[in-house]
Amino acid sequence: MQKNSVMQNVVKNTFILALLVVIITALPVNASNSTHINKQYLIKMSLQEAQIIQQLLQQVEVGTQEVDSFLEIYTPLEQITDMAQAPAEEVTLKLPKKGPQNLLLFMQRATIPGGGAKQVEAIIKKVKKHLPKDSPFKKSPKAEAKSAVLQLTRQEAQLVQQIMDQIELAIPEIDPFLAIYMPIEQMLDTSQEADPTKETTLRLPIKAPQNLLLFMRRASIPGSQAKQIHKIIDKLQHAIIQHQHTTKQQQNE
């Protein structure tokens, strides 16, 4: 009965991710309105990273009033992806003064498979280096204390990773997603020789078990994995209950 209550609570509180995610709704700024129109930012990246940005921009919706700002980014991007050849080749993306911030604003509208989150995060970090100090993108979310405990076997961790790789992820969700994905990946990397049925303790941010449940709800699985997924969900619910119980005890002290 307590587990059902937890699941209902999770469903009702689907805004948890929204609290972790920074969603920026401002329209891109047209650099042509700036008095420093000759100012350019040179962002170095690999051809593969440039191609990823290009693919993301191709999928976003652009308002007619945003076309100029969009093309100030997309045109030079298209030029370097057409000229370069090797995926690892270093290229330089030249953007106008407002280009880096506008690029991030447009990217916020895109979605990616979870398996691409690390690559996109690396690209975002490179772009952020060229932002003005007062840019809202400069503000990094505060790291949560790792007080949630989750017990998973290697087999269960592999299954969770497979599910997270395939789900659709909004760009603003990358931080809470990687807060779960990276510890699981590290666990799998360090326990390759371990018994796949032996449980390992994962220490995660407070909201991670709830967020993982929300992410997993987006996936579909073959029926053959239903029992394993049910067991993983039970463990997540237990981690949530355990944290709630600990929090109440601390409040009563």
pLDDT in tens, 99-116: 999 999 999 999 999 999
Which pLDDT tens digit goes with each residue over 7-57? 444 444 443 444 444 444 445 655 444 444 567 899 999 999 999 999 999
CB 98 within 8 A of CB 28: yes
Residue type, 40: Q
What CA–CA distance (Å, rounded) separates 146 from 208?
A: 9
pTM of model > 0.85: no
What CA–CA distance (Å, rounded) separates 247 from 241?
A: 10
Could you tell me the residue ranges of all domains in the chain? 2-17+142-252, 28-138
The pLDDT assigned to 8 comes to 47
Exposed, middle or buried, 119 (CB in 10 Å: 0-12/13-18/19+)?
middle
What is the mean predicted confidence (pLDDT) over 199-217? 92
Task: Kindly report the average pLDDT of the chain as a whole number.
Answer: 84
Which pLDDT tens digit goes with each residue over 238-252? 988 887 777 776 677
Which pLDDT tens digit goes with each residue over 153-201? 999 999 999 999 999 999 999 999 999 999 999 999 987 777 888 898 9
What is the mean predicted confidence (pLDDT) over 65-79? 96
The pLDDT assigned to 111 comes to 97
Of 71, 63, 55, nearest to 27 by C-alpha is 63
Residue 235 has pLDDT above 80, yes or no: yes
What CA–CA distance (Å, rounded) separates 44 from 41?
A: 10
